[in-house]
Amino acid sequence: MNRRILVVDDEKNIVDIIEYNLKKEGYDVITAFDGKEGLRLALSESPELVLLDIMMPKMDGFDVCRKIREKSQTPIIMLTARAEEIDKVLGFELGADDYVTKPFGVRELMARVKANLRRREMPNDDNGAIMALGDIVIDLGKYEVRKRGTAVEVTRREFELIKFLAAQRGQVFSRETLLEKVWGYEYFGDVRTVDVAVRRLRTKIEDNPETPAYILTKRGVGYCFAD
């Protein structure tokens, strides 16, 4: 059975291009041209991934993303013609897994679709393991982060990021390496995506995000978890 992908965008020419290329890769595709219909299909058709535009009639992509996340952990890739970082921050905070800015290349988009589907299918072999790091506890079995005993609301991608860094404390990783290891992008990806995710994670786990004690920046190199 082919994997089903939902494409939600009010620009028919873009939908047609995406649909054609997804079908060429062997995916089943369902489409919607406004936010309300996109949300209905996302909840009723159980797609394995959603490509979601932001600026749409009836309901914008941010609202659709938030409502999908209330019911499902289906991977969501946001599509937008706007490149402002605030949009990325909001999208990731609402639970989006990825962000692609228009105009985008077909090869880049297909690579991101495949990477997000691969990560969804990866088994969780942690068997309830727990990582205790100062005031931070990472419960790998429950996909949960706790600070001083209180659960911290993190997105799936933020969890994968802190898990990866904490498992290799003291080791510095470039943004490109993090895109490959955490996001699954070997060739494509905006490294600013990593900066946005780190910044959001710091606001949730650090006492003072401006002077972090856990996720550290090595200027000119990348990021590491404090040893």
Per-residue pLDDT, 120 = 67
pLDDT digit string (tens) for the chain, length 227 residues: 578 999 999 999 999 999 999 999 999 999 999 999 999 999 999 999 999 999 999 999 999 999 998 888 888 999 887 666 666 667 777 778 888 888 888 888 998 898 888 776 655 555 568 888 889 999 887 888 999 989 998 888 888 899 999 999 999 999 989 988 888 776 556 777 888 889 989 999 999 999 999 999 998 899 999 98
Per-residue pLDDT, 92 = 76
User: What are the residue ranges spanned by the domains of the chain?
Assistant: 4-121, 130-225
Peptide linkage before 103 cis (omega within 30 of 0):
yes
> Helix 12-24 crosses helix 106-121 at what angle (to 10 degrees)?
60
Q: If DSSP codes are grouped into helix, strand and coil, which group holds residue 32?
A: strand
Per-residue pLDDT, 182 = 87
Retrieve residue 212's tokens. 């972090």
Domain 4-121 has CATH 3.40.50.2300: yes
Q: How far is CA 33 from CA 7, 75, 137, in A?
A: 8, 19, 42
Domain 130-225 has CATH 1.10.10.10: yes
